[in-house]
Amino acid sequence: MSDCTRRLSVPWLCLGLGLLLMGCPRNPSIWTPEAPYGASTGTKDFDLTSSSTDFNGSPSNPRWAPQVQKPQNLPPTAHSGCSAKRAQPYEADCTDQSKYVVQDTGSGLSGALCTLFGDSSSISGHADWTAASGQGTIGWLNFADDWDYNLALLPENGYGLTSNNNKLPNGDPYLEVEFDSRELESRFGTRWWQDFAKLAEAGTQAGDYTQVQDHLHAGPGLPFGVVYGIFGVDCEHGCRSEFHPAYAVAIQVDDSKQNNTWAIFVRNWGDEGFCSHLDHQLDISPTGQAIHLVLPYKSSAGPTIIKQEFASSTAQQSQCPYYNFVSNQGEEITLPLPSPTSQGLAEIVVTFSWPDSASPIEHRPVEKKQLLQTPSTPPTGAALRNREESSEEHVGRLFRFFNNGPGLVQTGFRTRILPEFSARMTPAQRQTASLKLFEERNAVFSCPVPSAVNPAPPLSARSNSVPPRRAPLPLHSAKVVWDTATVAHFCSAYIASGRKLPPGEPAELGSKLDKICEDSRLKP
């Protein structure tokens, strides 16, 4: 029996996998910090490389092969084999690393919608290369129709961008940094991250993200940030590059010397949104069962830690962060985490005071107004589909049409959608899906505040010399429930509307939606 067949045999997971249309993803093994393709580099458009590794041993600021010669060479490049054959980034015509790329697509009822509205020339999902880190100017982007928090990252030198990536109004392209709000928002324990979740939701309802953008950073400009996560391309959104899921996000809320404040969360697991089904667990045993982030600041001497607020799903002193100063690079923060199977989460808001000779890291100046725009979706959702509309955007637009304006986020996932669905589940189903875990708020507790002047040891000194066993990436059982609940809510709106479709939709769409919405799995 194959790994795929064996995993599909679990009764509850069959709820979300009965309509699996794309088959199992390629090479669905648990991630490790090191790039699965090793240190080798190629010359094809979507061969990924990096000139350095971060303190986890992962590629730092990864770039595509054409960018080695010139950062502005964004793939797919003109006259390349990839362009000539109109191949997809994850295919052998575009990358010699294709055999290492993990494909994560929608499954079950949500997968049926992803395939129904997706581009048939590509997978309706994600193609992932490696765990990696990036840094640059960062800002709030939007709260997506699939419940993802989306940040925009302008990476250093434009590394990792593709010609498919979206651009700001000023023409600057950006990477999206995405993480599922359903995995985190009800768990945040620190005040800063709790406010982040509240302001994101409020901004979506008001159509104005000013408050959440100001929460990230005061003043007219966007802050500097460091991210760590799975790097790949989202072919449900035109095969543009992204960090998804984000394992860690560190935002420099205040870059002043005496009040240098960072808001950070870390974990070692996560999903990739509506058109996905895997829990992208990361085995961090090679890095001392912790994630390491360097918070850049120019200084020849270390800072003093003024204050910190820490919250964790594992309320133990062994999970407290510790710090090391890295000369002329910044402050390294090490955040221990439990096994990824525990789906742990840690958050910290920390403030440093740097010597007078120190200075913040330079990064591309971008004004907030480049991102502070009213969400582009029409309030009625009745507009015709545009050429670049994704599956999740199509579902969201139809829902707004059925619901006479309000969208999925505005109705409240945890206050209405999930309770309506989970009330019909048996206790055994709720337990199997581990839903309770995502309702438990992180515990805030006191951790010792060190002097933070110790030099950082080399990575090899804190790494586990025993290579971890590459276990299969598991299915995200809670996400199966969340997505099925979302489809049930979508179908309820469709049926309540009299099964009417907006202008421009194909005539056969109604019968296809009827088939999905009459599926017995929507009534557990």
* pLDDT tens digits in sequence order for the chain, 524 residues long: 333 333 333 333 333 333 333 334 455 789 999 999 988 778 999 999 999 999 999 999 999 999 999 999 999 999 899 999 999 999 999 999 999 999 999 999 999 999 999 888 899 999 999 999 999 999 999 998 889 999 999 999 999 999 999 999 999 999 999 999 999 999 999 999 999 999 999 998 888 999 999 999 999 999 999 999 999 999 988 899 999 999 999 999 999 999 999 999 999 999 999 999 999 999 999 999 999 999 999 999 999 999 999 999 998 889 999 999 998 899 999 999 999 999 999 999 999 999 999 999 999 999 999 987 644 444 444 444 555 688 888 999 999 999 988 887 767 888 889 988 988 888 877 777 678 889 899 999 999 887 655 554 544 444 444 555 678 999 999 999 999 999 999 999 999 999 999 998 998 999 999 999 999 999 87
CA-based nearest residue to 305, from 449, 191, 447, 192:
449
Query: What was the pLDDT predicted at 453?
Result: 52
Residue 24 lies in a domain: no
Helix (H) or strand (E) holding 429: helix 427-432
Query: What was the pLDDT predicted at 2?
Result: 36
Query: What was the pLDDT predicted at 433?
Result: 66
> How many domains does one find in the chain?
1
The boundaries of the domain holding residue 361 are: 32-105+126-391+441-473
The DSSP secondary-structure symbol of 474 reads: P
Query: What was the pLDDT predicted at 451?
Result: 63
* Cβ(446)–Cβ(317) below 8 Å: no
Amino acid making up residue 499: R
CA-based nearest residue to 109, from 502, 459, 489:
489
Please, is 177 exposed, middle or buried when counting C-beta atoms within 10 Å of its C-beta (0-12, 13-18, 19+)?
buried
Q: Which two tokens stand for residue 370?
A: 């480049």
* Cβ(18)–Cβ(269) below 8 Å: no
| DSSP-based three-state secondary structure for 471 | coil
Compute CA distances 340 → 281, 290, 465, 476, whole Å: 6, 11, 19, 12
Give strand pairing partners of 294. 332
Interstrand relation of 240-254 and 175-180 (parallel, antiparallel or unpaired): parallel
> Burial letters for 288-305: b for 16+ Cβ neighbours within 10 Å, e otherwise?
bbbbbbbbbbebeebbeb
CA-based nearest residue to 396, from 515, 507, 236, 213:
236
- CA-derived radius of gyration, the chain: 22
Query: What was the pLDDT predicted at 109?
Result: 93
Residue 358 lies in a domain: yes
- 367: CB partners within 8 A, 6+ apart: 220, 221, 222
Helix axes 391-402, 108-117, angle to 10 degrees: 100
520 in the Ramachandran plot: left (φ > 0), alpha (ψ -120 to 50) or beta? alpha
CA-based nearest residue to 405, from 436, 364, 377:
377
Distance, in Å, from the CA atom of 154 to the CA atom of 61, rounded to the nearest integer, reads 11
Residue 15 lies in a domain: no
Distance, in Å, from the CA atom of 264 to the CA atom of 346, rounded to the nearest integer, reads 8
Query: What was the pLDDT predicted at 9?
Result: 35
Q: Which two tokens stand for residue 457?
A: 């040891």
Residue 117 lies in a domain: no
Distance, in Å, from the CA atom of 341 to the CA atom of 269, rounded to the nearest integer, reads 8
Q: Locate tokens 């991102």: which residue?
A: 371
Query: Cα 156–158–164 angle (5° rounding)?
Result: 145
| DSSP-based three-state secondary structure for 158 | helix
CA-based nearest residue to 282, from 442, 440, 142, 468:
468
Residue 16 lies in a domain: no
Q: Which two tokens stand for residue 324?
A: 């090391």
Residue 167 lies in a domain: yes
Amino acid making up residue 421: F
Query: What was the pLDDT predicted at 436?
Result: 85
Q: Which two tokens stand for residue 179?
A: 């993480």
| DSSP-based three-state secondary structure for 48 | strand
